[in-house]
A and B are shown apart, each in its own frame.
Chain A
Amino acid sequence: MGFARCIASVSLLLSIFLPAHGQGQILLIDRSGSMRPYYENGLIGEVGQRINDLMLAPNLNPVRIGAFNKRVDLVDNIHSIQATGPTYLDVALDYAVNYKYALVWIVTDNIMHRAGEEEGQTQAFYDRLKQKSVERVVIFPLRQPPGQNPGIIVYALLLSANADEAFRKETAEFARLTTNTVLLPMKPLDRETIETTFVDPGSANKKTKPVYQDGSSIKESMELRFRSRFQHLKIIDADIINPAVAPEFSENSLLELEKKHVTIDPTKIRGLGPGNETLQAYKVDVDLGKIKLKRDFVSLWRAALKDPNEEISLDLSFSIRVPKEQFQFSDEFLRDYSSASPETARADGKIYALHQLPLLVAENNTSIQVPHKPKIHVTYPWWLVFIFPGIPIAAGVIAIGSGILAWRLLKRATTRQPKWIVNITSPPGARGTIKGGWLLASVEGKQIRLGQVKDSSFGPAVGVSPKESQAIKEGMPMALTAKRKSFVLIFNRPSQQGNADGQGKKERKKDGNRIATKI
């Protein structure tokens, strides 16, 4: 008990000096007794050195090397490791997780050997691989020359998403530099593993992107196939469940949809080989109802003043549920790398029971998320013109009209207007009236606009000569020419009495040439 406390205290103290989560890399090499032949033939030295060199390339420090059997010890030199004892793969992984390494490489013959347990019980290790602390798992089976030793396995584990780029680079580089191996991505199996392709490649073409107007119903149908991105895994039988659509609007989108309904037919995937495409075409129907602009004033105003086009990614997603027994390695891969028994593994230089790996690593049910992002184009309606510039223009017109009206009323109320009577003496029979400041002459049933009377000034209309304004002098004749007719006008101020009782008005009407008008 006291010893355990001591260990715990030391661990706590050590943890203070450990790298922060996701900061380091460690290469853990199996030093169990079963690994001795690989140390002796130089394989571990060679592979270990290669991985060490790869780990040094990215800036992901510190880089450590450890050797494990029933415990893990850090070492300075791969060649100093002595192979002895049992294999505790789970202890090795726990060490890397507890010490918060971001990236872990494990080199092992994959023969889990606990004291008192049957050899080959690797379930405890694989259960840990399924835990959330392990982000990615890539497995490299390393085939050996036949007749010597079974093949070994190199695990590359990503424990922190921050090191994803380094992880991808290092694993790709290891696969490139190492012969007699393949890169097996085993976790996650539910992402980036199946993609969709259009049955008609032209429908993915940008030019045929459907264009919708405000208020139109969005109903899209497409035919798809599913393509596996697995390199060595095949899917025997799987169900497509929960087809969903989550239209991805731009950040400042002003559009809204009525509903989100999507169906796919059929809903089974059978015999999808690695890198292959389903022979079956799947019909996808998307019904989003009517798309329309948000009808609040602010949205409409913004719509009138922004690019009237919006591109919407429909973001369809299909979940393909694969029970773990429905994952299988391809026959070709199993033929090259897997062996049915430890004896044949030794004879062929292959790895024992590799065919069970999907059963061990995969979840009971893997739901592979398959995104599909067809795009549609929506244009704003023309009637936004009524919002802008319609409303500002209408407001401007109303404001200007009201202003003019108010100004006129104010002027009429405050200004003493002179009163003029206009008497047209020539041509005979012509009558003059003043309406709204304009002097109109009625001649032979036609009305001619002669000019504008303003205070004591007369401004001729277009086509009236002389063109210059003239001062109105009471009782003095004013000669004008308009429409090839000569006019002689006499302006007079009406008498107060005549204007008051209407008598003067009556008298002037008798001769037909005179009228009294208030200006």
Chain B
Amino acid sequence: METESRLKYSLAVGLSIFLILNCVLVWLAANNQPLISAQDTIPIGIKWLILFATVIVSVGIAYWSHRAFLEGGVSPVDTTWVDLIIILIALLTILALLFVSEAFWILAAIFLLLIFMFSAFVLRKLLNNAKGWVTWLIATIILGLLIVILISTLLPAE
């Protein structure tokens, strides 16, 4: 597989994993699971420090992927969209972990849905392969649902 395709499909898999992870986090927040509600006791300064660190790391990853995609032959416009998705998903992940409690889970869910739609739109253009894109879309949705159901049966109730 040539570098460009390898990068694109790696991105598709990576996005799926992070979208599913966020789906689980939002579900946990909606149910006020102890894993999420424990964030109430994290010091404010530490929370924000982690958030800033995540921003820096995600921007670094976005920059690295930007270079890799450009060198792989992907157009600068597409690589910029990819950067944006990476940063947004990193932010959503850390927000869900540190700031989203039961009260705000709907906002996080809306944010997640928008990122998912945005990711699907960018991947549709990036992959340029209808079959591969549909596969990604269905796999992400089904896997997300299955993992949420699995975790809901494993974790204790509130």
Please, what's the 1-or-0 string for B85-103, where 1 marks a CB less than 8 Å from any CB in chain A? Answer: 0000000000000000000
B43 contact from A307, A381, A393, Cβ within 8 A:
A307
Contact A385 B45, beta carbon cutoff 8 Å: yes
Asked if A54 lies at the interface with its beta carbon under 8 angstroms from chain B, I say no
On whether the beta carbons of A387 and B45 are closer than 8 Å, the reply is: yes
B40 contacts across to A, CB distance below 8 A: 308-309
Contacts of A388 in B (CB 8 A): 45, 48-49
- Interfacial chain B residues near A308, Cβ < 8 Å: 40-44
Q: Which of A304, A309, A462, A463 contacts B45 (CB 8 A)?
A: A304
B52 at the interface (CB under 8 A from A): yes
* Nearest B residue (CB) for A304: B45
Judging by beta carbons under 8 Å apart, are B44 and A304 in contact?
Answer: yes
Contact with A along B4-33 (1 / 0, CB 8 A): 000000000000000000000000000000
Contact B41 A389 (CB under 8 A): no
A309-B48 contact, Cβ under 8 Å, with A462-B67, A463-B70: no
Mark each residue of chain A from 297 to 322: 1 if its CB lies under 8 Å from any CB of chain B, else 0: 00000011111110000000000000
- B112 → chain A closest CB, angstroms: 22
| Cβ-neighbour of B41 out of A305, A307, A382 (below 8 A) | A307
Interface string of B40-82 (1 = CB under 8 A from A): 1111111011001000000000000001001000001000000
Chain A residues lying within 8 Å of B41, measured Cβ to Cβ, are 307-309
Q: Which residue of B lies closest to A385 (CB)?
A: B48
Q: Total contacts A to B, CB within 8 angstroms?
A: 40
Question: Nearest Cβ in chain B — how far from A394, in angstroms?
Answer: 12
Within 8 A of B (CB), among A153-173: none
Task: Evaluate contact between B67 and A305: CB separation under 8 angstroms.
Answer: no
CB-based contact B43/A305 at 8 Å: yes
Contact A306 B67 (CB under 8 A): no
The distance from the CB of B19 to the nearest CB of chain A, in whole angstroms, is 28
CB distance from B101 to the nearest CB of A (A): 11
For window 443-500 of A, CB contacts with B under 8 Å fall at 462-463
The one of A389, A462, A463 that contacts B49, using a Cβ cutoff of 8 Å: A389
State whether the Cβ of A380 lies closer than 8 Å to any Cβ in chain B. Answer: yes
Closest to A393 in B: B52
Is the CB–CB distance between B44 and A385 below 8 Å? yes
In the assembled complex, how far is the CB of residue B154 from the closest CB belonging to chain A, in whole angstroms?
Answer: 26
- Cβ-defined contact, A462 with B70, below 8 A: yes
With contacts A388-B48, A390-B48 known, what are 6 further pairs, Cβ within 8 A? A303-B44, A308-B43, A384-B44, A384-B45, A389-B48, A393-B52
20 A-B pairs whose Cβ atoms sit less than 8 Å apart in the complex: A304-B44, A304-B45, A305-B45, A306-B43, A307-B41, A308-B40, A308-B41, A308-B42, A309-B41, A380-B44, A382-B44, A384-B45, A388-B48, A388-B49, A389-B45, A389-B49, A389-B52, A462-B67, A462-B70, A463-B76
Q: Which residues of A contact B (CB under 8 A)?
A: 303-309, 380-382, 384-385, 387-390, 393, 462-463
What 10 pairs across the A-B complex have the smallest Cβ distances? A304-B45, A388-B45, A385-B48, A389-B49, A384-B44, A307-B41, A305-B43, A308-B44, A305-B45, A306-B43
